[in-house]
């Protein structure tokens, strides 16, 4: 007897399956609607979403095993925005499961994306390459082909539901696969496989990246030259800077080779914003393309942001990272700032002057010229020598890039494709381990990720790491195969003011190691509420929380007699040594307080922090004076001291005439001594 059904039997079977399918849709959608209307929290039933290989598709070459099953935490409500109602019919409740877990067989590397993560932009929705999914997504629910597909799927192990087609463009979206979950959910899945996402382009994450593209083999320097748009400058200052670079070919070589890592990304961002490509050369004169550069004014990174301006442009600065050194974040902030300045002044030269000197100073210089009925062009404004030389220096670099042979210099060969890719991070991971898995030395890894000056990368505060094009895929593959612990450090908040030695004993590490990792100088206390980086132990294996990673701060205070903080505004010739001598403190301490070296020479008007004893002592000629306030004896500060002494004498004479009751007690002034 023939066991296969007749044509009439197949038609009846298809009708029954269609009826069951529509019934399942109604039940599931009704459940979702009722749960939304109900005031009590009713969880949607757990589902198994199975995504089959398209009909006729060949299995992976060399892979004879069953398709691996991956899981993620999601519910029908989370997936309903991705899977259309006509597709949910094939989803069936998982018998005996009440944990709200959606599972499904999927090809490795194509995770199921919950709709909520897609809506928040945390996970991009992958695009189906084949046409078979589009055919399945656009098939009518009541057609015979849909019934046959349902019949075949129900009779095949590992049956799947394909994603719906994008009807606006006629392309299918899918398959759905389970990505690593960020945040607290990631802590519940302590495996290396979900620690990172796939490598993407830093400017257009959704765009494919290929070094085989014809444009990728063009010269990046030519692209920069072709987009020069600012009018040229000429004059003695330009020629002086050209000669300076011409006489230092080794310096130019180091600077351009260092910049070769970052220049493509900056050119891409400048081009995307419609800005002149001269702006891409600005880091050459700001920092020589050194993202670790730190000026005496505490400007940091290759774009040289001071702390306050960095915060104004959303560059986070905390215990764990300094975005002023981050390649992507600082470039975004610098171009945002330059765009704002250009909008204020309507001229790129004035915008660049304001970037160097400050928008307020440029605005006042323009107002001063207007009052004097003078021109307000860059060349006609009165400004400091540094700002006066700023644009001529940029023009000299522009001239060298335009024609290096004219100056006897050679630029490194640069191709018009990314040097690095961005790899999303979802789990805390040690820097040394990340560099090892990426087949990089730690120094090169930190060169691309300079904002990370701690031994661990915190996923909650670090959206991605940058890796060279060829190393990004190696990193993802090696990490997926890694089975050891990812991070050996965590964060600890101090609940009371401690000496570093006492804190080290509490957490079981040496004092030197604690100081080194957390950059704690000698003779300083750790104030209550500060956050320290400490080794993990058995009780603290989870990743650092987002709140801690984003807001952690460390506050130190000198360990010794009660001190008060003095802010001193420097003169033209002030150095660390001269200021330390003025306040009778060690130059090394002054350098630590201000994060500079002992050989630093300060610029005029810079604010320097000094801690001086708050106790008072008698001085040789009578009166009371702060022991840390070693007053200046010349210049403006000498005149200020004279005026202050004169006022004190007048007050003392008046008090004497008024009698003893009116005399006020003589105490040390609480104002910083000899400040400007």
Nearest CA to 246 out of 382, 399, 137 is that of 399
Cα separation, 399 vs 238, whole angstroms: 9
Please name the residues in contact with 333: beta carbons below 8 A apart, sequence gap of 6 or more: 303, 305, 310, 313, 314, 315, 323
User: Dihedral of CA 659/660/663/666: which sign?
Assistant: positive
For residues 327 and 466, is the Cβ–Cβ distance under 8 A? yes
173/152 Cα distance (integer angstroms): 22
Residues 6+ apart with CB under 8 A from 202: 265, 268, 328, 418, 420, 421, 422, 466
Strand 464-468 and strand 531-535: pairing? Answer: unpaired
Q: Can the peptide bond before residue 175 be classed as cis, meaning omega within 30 degrees of 0?
A: yes
**How are beta strands 171-172 and 165-166 bridged, if at all?**
antiparallel
Q: Which residue in this structure is represented by tokens 């930190």?
A: 446
Q: Could you identify the residue written with the tokens 């991705």?
A: 82
Return d(Cα 469, Cα 238) in angstroms, integer: 37
Please count the CA atoms within 13 angstroms of the CA of 526 that sit on its side-chain side. 25
User: Would residue 286 show up in a list of annotated catalytic residues for this protein?
Assistant: yes
Q: Could you tell me where the DSSP H helices lie in 247-318?
A: 249-259, 263-272, 282-286, 307-312
Q: Exactly one of 78, 204, 286, 443 is catalytic; which is it?
A: 286
Cα 212 to Cα 218, 223, 234, 415, 416, distances in angstroms: 11, 18, 41, 11, 11
Buried b (16+ CB within 10 A) or exposed e, 644-667: eeeeeeeeeeeeeeeeeeeeeeee
Nearby residues of 280 by Cβ (< 8 Å), 6 or more positions away: 224, 263, 266, 267, 270
The token duo for 476 is 């993802």
List residues with catalytic annotation. 286
């Amino acid at each position: 007897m023939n066991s296969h059904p007749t044509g009439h039997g197949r038609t009846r079977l298809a009708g029954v399956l269609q009826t069951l399918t529509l019934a399942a849709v109604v039940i599931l959608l009704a459940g979702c609607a009722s749960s939304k209307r109900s005031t009590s929290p009713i969880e949607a039933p757990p589902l198994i979403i199975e995504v089959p290989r398209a009909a006729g598709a060949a299995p992976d070459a060399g892979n004879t095993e069953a398709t691996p099953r991956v899981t993620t935490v999601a519910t029908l409500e989370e997936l309903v925005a991705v899977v259309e109602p006509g597709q949910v019919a094939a989803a069936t409740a998982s018998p005996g499961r009440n944990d709200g877990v959606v599972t499904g067989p999927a090809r490795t590397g194509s995770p199921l994306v919950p709709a909520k993560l897609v809506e928040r932009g945390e996970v991009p929705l992958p695009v189906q390459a084949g046409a078979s999914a589009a055919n399945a997504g656009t098939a009518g629910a009541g057609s015979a082909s849909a019934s046959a597909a349902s019949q075949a799927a129900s009779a095949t192990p590992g049956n799947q539901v394909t994603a719906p087609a994008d009807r606006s463009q006629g392309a299918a979206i899918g398959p759905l696969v389970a990505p690593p979950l960020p945040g607290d959910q990631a802590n519940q899945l302590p495996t290396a496989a979900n620690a990172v996402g796939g490598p993407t382009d830093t400017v257009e994450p959704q765009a494919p990246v290929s070094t085989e593209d014809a444009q990728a083999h063009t010269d990046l320097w030519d692209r920069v030259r072709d987009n020069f748009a600012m009018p040229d400058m000429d004059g003695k200052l330009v020629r002086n800077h050209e000669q300076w670079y011409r006489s230092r070919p080794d310096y130019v070589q180091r600077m351009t080779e260092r910049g070769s890592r970052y220049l493509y990304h900056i050119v891409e961002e400048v081009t995307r914003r419609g800005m002149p490509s001269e702006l891409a050369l600005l880091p050459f004169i700001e920092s020589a393309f050194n993202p670790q550069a730190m000026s005496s004014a505490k400007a940091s990174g290759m774009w040289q942001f001071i702390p306050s301006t960095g915060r104004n442009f959303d560059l986070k600065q905390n215990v764990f990272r300094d975005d002023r050194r981050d390649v992507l974040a600082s470039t975004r902030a610098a171009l945002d700032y330059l765009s704002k300045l250009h909008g204020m002044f309507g001229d790129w030269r004035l915008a660049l002057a304001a970037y160097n000197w400050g928008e307020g100073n440029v605005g006042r210089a323009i107002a001063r010229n207007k009052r004097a009925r003078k021109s307000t062009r860059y060349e006609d404004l009165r400004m400091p020598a540094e700002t006066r030389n700023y644009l001529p220096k940029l023009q000299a670099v522009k001239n060298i890039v335009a024609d290096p042979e004219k100056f006897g210099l050679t630029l490194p060969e640069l191709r018009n494709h990314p040097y690095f890719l961005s790899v999303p991070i979802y789990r805390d991971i040690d820097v040394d381990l990340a560099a090892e898995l990426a087949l990089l030395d730690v120094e090169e890894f930190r060169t691309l990720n300079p904002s990370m000056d701690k031994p661990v990368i915190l996923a909650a505060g670090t959206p991605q790491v940058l890796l060279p094009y060829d190393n990004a895929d190696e990193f993802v593959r090696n990490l997926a195969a890694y089975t050891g612990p990812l991070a050996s450090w965590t964060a600890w908040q101090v609940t009371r003011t401690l000496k570093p030695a006492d804190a080290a004993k509490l957490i079981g590490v040496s004092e030197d190691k604690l100081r080194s990792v957390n950059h704690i100088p000698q003779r300083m206390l750790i104030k209550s509420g500060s956050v320290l980086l400490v080794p993990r132990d058995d009780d603290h294996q989870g990743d650092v929380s987002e709140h801690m990673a984003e807001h952690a701060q460390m506050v130190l205070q000198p360990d010794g007699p009660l001190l008060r903080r003095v802010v001193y505004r420097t003169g033209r010739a002030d150095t660390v040594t001269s200021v330390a001598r003025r306040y009778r403190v060690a130059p090394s301490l002054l350098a630590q307080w201000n994060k500079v070296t002992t050989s630093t020479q300060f610029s005029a008007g810079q604010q320097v922090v000094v801690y001086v004893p708050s106790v008072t002592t008698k001085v040789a000629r009578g009166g009371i004076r702060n022991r840390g306030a070693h007053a200046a004896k010349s210049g403006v500060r000498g005149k200020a001291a004279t005026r202050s002494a004169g006022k004190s004498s007048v007050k003392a004479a008046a008090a004497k005439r008024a009698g003893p009751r009116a005399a006020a007690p003589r105490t040390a002034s609480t104002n910083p001594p000899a400040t400007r």
